[in-house]
Amino acid sequence: MLKSPQMETITYQYRIKDNSLKKTLIKMSSEVNFVWNFANNIIQKRWKESRQYTDEKLLSGLTKGASKELEINSQTIQAVYEELLKRVKRHKKQIRFRSRKRKLGWIPFKGQTFKFCGNYSTYNGYKIRYWYHRPLPEGAVVKTGSFSEDALGRWYLNLVVTFPEYLEPALNESVGIDLGIKTTLTCSDGVKFERPSFTTNNSEALAKAQKYRKKRQTKKIHAKIKNQRKDWNHKTTFSLAKKFKNIFVGDTSSQDILTEINNINKAIYDASWFELKTLLSYKVLRRQGVFQEVSELYSTETCSVCLVKSGPSGVKSLKIREWTCSVCKTLHDRDINAARNHLRLGHESLRAA
């Protein structure tokens, strides 16, 4: 039986068609940088002189009327310093200034100043056309959004929308997942997902472009690798979220296991564990499931049957893919055993809650 619909929040991204708007968007993004740097300077100067935090009310008064001199409107100016204050509070340190040389273009806006019309939209008097490849859900309301630029100079429209939606519940109850390098995802039921190494597949073309200093071609290859990886991640995480209601993943981090071996480091970064966990989290939550990171400490060396620590551990033992428990004599696959320990820890945490 389906539950009553809840308001979901998700971001939709569309690539902008109009090349004629590129110069206008670049100019707007430069003015966004100007507002950002102005507000950032006020925040840093105020803290240095009086050790006082800057609030939205102060910045609102200082930027009042600025939209008359700039291409961007007052709602965009407000969105810029609100994002800056949010980052200052989150990181508790000075935030870098923005410039075209170091930062890609970014223009935030709020729903009040943006009108969505299907395959085109209007913002600040400009009509913006884009490839409308994925229609918004019925009843969707645009809350906020932004225009953003990628490394190739292409511009995108990003819409944060809320909408009521029914989603079918997952078919099975729970699964534990172990994230790895060679095998990207290993499930506690024995299913493994191996993602092709898109970086390796494109390494020859990338090396050739870099050798002859073809910067734009190099950027295109990097963008291709990123898109291929993102497409695989989306499809795989969608299939898992549709199949399992509760998903427990080890809290592994690429920074925790970086080594002096460059080949392994390259594979670790290519695994994109953070992105996989991010995609899994929101897709599971949309189906009223549970996504939780559990401790990966001793998950590889602990026998999932008798819980005795008798297995291989550490980066040096990565070559050992199967091992036998010295107590219960159970033959284990290294990754499947770790995934089953994650499932056990996930169930324990749910019972404790």
Least confident stretch, 13-22, 129-138, 168-177, 187-196: 168-177
Which of 140, 165, 190 is the last residue in one of the domains?
A: 165
Taking only the tens place, the pLDDT of each residue in 297-353 is: 999 999 999 999 999 887 677 788 899 999 999 999 999 999 999 999 999 998 886
Q: pLDDT-derived band of residue 1, with 50, 70 and 90 as boundaries?
A: very low
In a domain, 121, yes or no: yes
**Which region holds residue 118: left if phi is over 0, alpha if psi is between -120 and 50, else beta?**
left
Indicate the residue among 165, 185, 216 that finishes a domain: 165
Average pLDDT, the chain: 90
| 85 and 135 assigned to the same domain | yes
In a domain, 220, yes or no: yes
Tokens representing 131 are 């490839």
What's residue 324's pLDDT?
94
Q: Classify residue 42: in a domain, yes or no.
A: yes
Among 165, 188, 206, residue at a domain's last position: 165
Is residue 159 located within the same domain as residue 184? no
Q: Assess whether 12 and 70 both reside in one domain.
A: yes
* 97 shares its domain with 214: no
Residues 241 and 307 in one domain: yes
* Position with higher pLDDT, 163 vs 24: 24
Among candidate residues 305, 307, 276, 310, the one with its CA nearest the CA of residue 293:
276
Q: Are 103 and 229 in the same domain? A: no
Tell me, what's the pLDDT at 258? 63
User: For 68-72, what is the mean pLDDT?
Assistant: 92
Looking at residue 259, its pLDDT comes to 59
Instruction: Report pLDDT for 253.
Output: 80
83-92 average pLDDT score: 92
- Which pLDDT belongs to residue 138? 79
Residue 1 is assigned to a structural domain of this protein = no
Residues 137 and 263 grouped into a single domain: no
What is the pLDDT at residue 2?
40
The pTM score is: 0.80
Task: Tell which wins on pLDDT, 165 or 272.
Answer: 272
Say what the pLDDT of residue 262 is.
55
Per this entry, what is the length of the chain? 353
Q: Does 97 score more than 70 pLDDT?
A: yes
Question: Are residue 177 and residue 68 in the same domain, yes or no?
Answer: no
In the chain, how many domains are there? 2
In this structure, are 216 and 89 located in the same domain? Answer: no
* Range scoring the smallest mean pLDDT among 149-153, 202-206, 253-257, 291-295: 253-257
Three-state SS string over 223-284 comes to: HHHHHHHHHHHHHHHHHHHHHEEEEEEECCCHHHCCCCCHHHHHHHHHHCHHHHHHHHHHHH
Tell me which residue range forms the domain holding 158.
6-165
* 156 & 178 share domain: no
Residues 197 and 143 in one domain: no
